Chain A
Amino acid sequence: MTAKQFSCPVPMRDYPNIVLSHGGGGRLSAELIEHVFLPAFGKADGPLADSTALTLPAQRLAVSTDSFVVQPLFFPGGSIGDLAVNGTVNDLAMSGARAMYLTAGFILEEGLPLEQLVEIVADMARAARQASVSIIAGDTKVVERGHGDGCYINTTGIGILAPTCSIGIDRAAPGDVVLISGTIGDHAMAIMSVREGLEFEATIRSDTASLATMVHELLQACPDVRVLRDPTRGGLATTLNEIAMASKCGIEIVESDIPVDNVVRSACEILGLDPLLAANEGKLVAVVPAAQAQRALETLQQNDLGRSAAIIGRAIDDQHSLVVSRTMFGSRRIVPMPIGEQLPRIC
């Protein structure tokens, strides 16, 4: 569904923006569900109820929840709707689970143009279709103007975990090989360029995408994958540090092997930011046994989302669990865990 297909019945045309009553549980709430959410997400078999009953063909389930508060709501490459679906689908995929169902909770700010909500919901529906998940339950609340940034979304996902799956952040071992599925920093720089009104040589697009299919292909080809992680907030540096700490090993990377888009690299240079610390929304880090590394790389590269996948380093024996990078001279430097968000340097 696209925004243009939105059927606007008379009562809703009276309210081109979200009003408090849209969250009041009355007629306007019902209309929002009937005309915005159900056409996009699909109807349940029976009448709408307080909960949805599911039949799941598995004994091992994975559950993940995430909240999305991105500003702006729309950016090159996606919207908060794409992130809300892909983010939770990817979190499930990183434990090896196949996402089946999502719930969606919306907190809308009074005054949000209805058109924008329709567009966000359409993005969610499209992302859900691409990831083969159903959105099966939802909730909407409206807060007074000034109490929210237009739209916040929480999604919770339920996925099925294969009985033999044993992926874990603590499973990296010295000798294992570390891969990244593509260029880093695209999402962070896309958001920053819109938020700050910065213009670069070309539009930087967010990489928001569902990694479910790629993970499925990877697990088929390399069943012994040790760690999967999506380097979202905090970027690749944070993810590698988390893996090193949990696995009680070191990680050594070769910085020049890490794929970074040229425009993203330039933007980072201008702003004094480090692509290693910049957020991604459609990339994964995989740690695999050395014997399966080449196969893993080829599998990732065969997927459209993984065309620039690369082997970037390996796990090493290190009691301090440091992440270190080989510089251009072959010398080493520590890749630290960032304190908080990156702050642009003065000059």
Chain B
Amino acid sequence: MKYLNEFRNSKQAQLLAARIARLVTRPWSIMEICGGQTHSLIRNGIDQVLPPGVEMIHGPGCPVCVTPLSVIDKALEIAARPEVIFCSFGDMLRVPGSREDLYRIKGAGGDVRVVYSPLDALKLAKQNPEREIVFLAIGFETTAPANAMVIKLARTQQIKNFSALVSHVLVPPAIEAIMNSPDNRIHGFLAAGHVCSVMGFKQYHPIAARYQVPIVVTGFEPLDLLEGIRRVIEQLERSQAFVDNAYERAVSEEGNLAAQATINEVFTVTDRNWRGIGTIAKSGWRLRDEFAWWDAEKKFNVEHVRTIESPQCRAGEVLQGTLKPHQCAAFGKACTPRHPLGATMVSGEGACAAYYNYGRFVQIDKAMSS
């Protein structure tokens, strides 16, 4: 409980905001990578207390949003099979595929279940030996250790009716892709605390050096975010660019070595398509060949599904920080959380949904009345 109150102290937060305001001498654009941070920034109105000129740009760190359409379509095809119990984290259920979403598959008779941990899916596999249990293993480095552990367990215990549809993505290659983009206007990054609690932050030193960009690891509470922003701006104002850790209570340089070992045992780096962005080299994890039996893509032979993305959806630009959600013509009109065109409008962590639900008050007000 302590963490919930201490890091939400309103007086401390206002002091920090005032310190940031005193630091700033010119405009800066800072990207928070993680969708959880976007959610917290907007829900707590932090973006509204930053000095004019300091702009938070929402990065591609919502795992639901960047999971490629082809994986969603494969999930839908597998989930519709009568022998399958398809297990997913909750917020994947409403993500639109080319034609439908997991909710509709469930409504049409598919056995789709929300799980809170991949272990729940493995338990289901043991309880239902006559069924095929498929787990949708998506997410960043944060969810990878638990997913890897379960797949490893399935192999150790030879649970053959369990498989995983794996589409993991990695943060550092995404940062590099953003910095390499000709449209890039990011001056500094908040690195995602939970990703770094697993992976550490040693991978970020070469990026900070190569692109001369400050990277500050931070958490999700209002005070974490403000302190992270303050440290990025402090570096920018002093023309410095290094990796700093503002989330020491959870993150170390090396990260969680046991988790990394499990990940390496089960997954190997691969090129990955990011929904709305495109393929980024070496930006994901796939199952190692020795786990082929537990690879749902191979087991169900869905490697060749065809996908159709909505032409109206500009989620890719939103994910790369070149378009604000409310600047999209479809925002709040053709595209709402009820009828999302893209994944960024689905998850609470998606930038478009966060804007729609909690958004900057005045802008939302305008969007709704127009």
A residues 314-328 in Cβ contact with B at 8 Å? 319-320, 322, 324, 327-328
Contact: B10 with A329, CB < 8 Å? yes
CB neighbours (8 Å) of A345 from chain B are 36, 89-91, 347-349
Chain A residue at minimal CB-CB distance from B44: A327
The answer to whether B91 and A332 have CB atoms under 8 Å apart is no
Considering the chains assembled together, what is the distance between the CA atoms of A342 and B347 in angstroms? Answer: 11
Q: Please name the residue on chain A nearest to B226 by beta carbon.
A: A329
Choose, from A33-41, A97-105, A265-273, the stretch at the interface.
A265-273
What 0/1 readout, one digit per residue, does chain A (321-347) give for beta carbons within 8 Å of chain B? 010100111011110100100111111
- B276 interface contact, C-beta 8 A: no
Q: Specify which chain B residues have a CB less than 8 angstroms from the CB of A271 in the assembled complex.
A: 116
Give chain B's interface secondary structure class: helix
Number of residue pairs spanning A and B whose beta carbons lie under 8 angstroms apart: 97
Chain A binder among B68-76, B151-159, B234-242, B362-370: B362-370
Interface check B43, CB cutoff 8 A = yes
B89, A331: Cβ atoms closer than 8 Å: no
Q: Which of A269, A322, A329, A344 contacts B114 (CB 8 A)?
A: A344
Q: Is the CB of B116 within 8 A of A198?
A: yes
Choice from A334, A344, A346 contacting B361 with Cβ under 8 Å: A334
Kindly state whether residue B194 has any CB partner on chain A within 8 Å: yes
Contact size class for A? Answer: 20 to 34
Instruction: Verify B64–A346 contact, CB threshold 8 A.
Output: yes
Taking the nearest CB of chain A, how far is it from the CB of B58, in angstroms? Answer: 16
Of the candidates B14, B143, B359, B368, the one whose C-beta lies within 8 Å of that of A347 is B143
For A320, the chain B residues whose CB sits under 8 A away are: 365, 368-369
Give every chain A residue within 8 A of B48 (Cβ-Cβ). Answer: 327, 329, 331
Report A237 CB to chain B, min CB distance, Å.
Answer: 10
Given A198-B116, A343-B114: A327 and B45 interface contact (C-beta under 8 Å): yes
- A196 contacts the other chain (CB 8 A): yes
Interface presence of B8 (CB below 8 A) = yes
Q: Which residues of B contact A302 (CB under 8 A)?
A: none
- The reply to whether A266 and B4 contact each other, CB–CB distance below 8 Å, is yes
Q: Which residues of A contact B194 (CB under 8 A)?
A: 347
Known A346-B89, A346-B139; judge A334-B364 contact (CB<8 A): yes
Q: Once the chains bind, are B43 and A262 in contact (CB under 8 Å)?
A: no
**Residues of A214-236 contacting chain B, CB below 8 A:** none
Q: Tell me, yes or no, whether B252 is within 8 Å of chain A by CB.
A: no
List the A side residues contacting B105 at CB < 8 Å. none
* B46 partner residues in chain A, CB cutoff 8 A: 329
Bound-state Cα–Cα, A198 to B120, Å: 12
Q: Mark B122-165, 1 if CB is under 8 A from A, else 0.
A: 00000000000000001110110000000000000000000000
B116 touches A347 (CB 8 A): no
A331 CA to B17 CA in the complex, in Å?
13
Chain B positions 1 through 19: 1 when the CB is less than 8 Å from some CB of chain A, otherwise 0: 1001000101001100100
Distance, CA A255 to CA B358, complexed state (A)? 13
Q: How far is the CA of A158 from the CA of B128 in the complex (A)?
A: 46
Query: Cβ of B21: which chain A residues have Cβ within 8 Å of it?
Result: none
B322-370 residues with Cβ-Cβ distance < 8 A to A are 337-338, 347-349, 356-359, 361, 364-365, 368-369
Residue of B nearest to A332 (CB): B361
Query: In the bound complex, how far is the Cα of B46 from the Cα of A320, in angstroms?
Result: 24
Q: How far is the CB of B94 from chain A (nearest CB, A)?
A: 7
Q: B157-189 interface mask toward A, CB cutoff 8 Å, 1 = contact, 0 = none? A: 000000000000000000000000000000000
Within 8 Å CB of B116, what residues of A? 196, 198, 271, 344
- Which of B14, B43, B45, B356 is most buried by chain A, counting CB atoms within 10 A of its CB? B45
Give every chain B residue within 8 A of A336 (Cβ-Cβ).
Answer: 337, 356-358
Cα(A256)–Cα(B4), bound, Å: 13
Cβ contacts under 8 Å, B349 to chain A: 345-346
The answer to whether the Cβ of B93 comes within 8 Å of any Cβ in the partner chain is: yes
Nearest-Cβ distance from residue A260 to partner chain B, whole angstroms:
10
In the complex, which residues of chain B have a beta carbon less than 8 angstroms from the beta carbon of A198? Answer: 116
- Encode B40-71 as 1/0 by CB contact (under 8 A) with A: 00111110110000000000000110000000
Distance in Å: Cβ of B310 to nearest Cβ of chain A: 18
B222 at the interface (CB under 8 A from A): yes
Nearest A residue (CB) for B369: A320
Q: Whole-angstrom distance between the alpha carbons of A256 and B361 in the complex?
A: 19
Bound form: Cα–Cα A68–B347 in Å: 29
Alpha-carbon distance between A346 and B140 when the two chains are bound, in angstroms: 10
Interface contact B1-A266, CB-CB below 8 Å: yes
A139 to chain B, nearest CB (A): 30
**B138 contacts A346, CB within 8 Å?**
yes
Give the CA-CA distance A320 to B369 in the complex, in Å: 8
A297 to chain B, nearest CB (A): 23
> Is the CB–CB distance between B42 and A347 below 8 Å?
no
Q: Is the CB of B10 within 8 A of A265?
A: no
Residue of B nearest to A256 (CB): B10
Q: Which residue of B lies closest to A196 (CB)?
A: B116
| Residue with the greatest number of chain A CB neighbours at <10 A, chosen from B142, B194, B222, B358 | B358
Interchain residue pairs with CB less than 8 A apart (14): A320-B365, A320-B368, A328-B44, A328-B222, A329-B17, A329-B49, A331-B361, A334-B359, A336-B357, A336-B358, A344-B91, A345-B90, A346-B349, A347-B139
15 more contacts with CB within 8 A, not counting A343-B94, A345-B347, A346-B143, are A265-B1, A266-B1, A320-B369, A328-B13, A329-B10, A331-B49, A331-B361, A334-B359, A336-B357, A344-B90, A345-B349, A346-B89, A346-B138, A346-B139, A347-B36
Pairs A-B, 9 closest by C-beta atoms: A343-B90, A331-B45, A327-B45, A331-B48, A328-B10, A344-B90, A333-B358, A346-B89, A336-B357
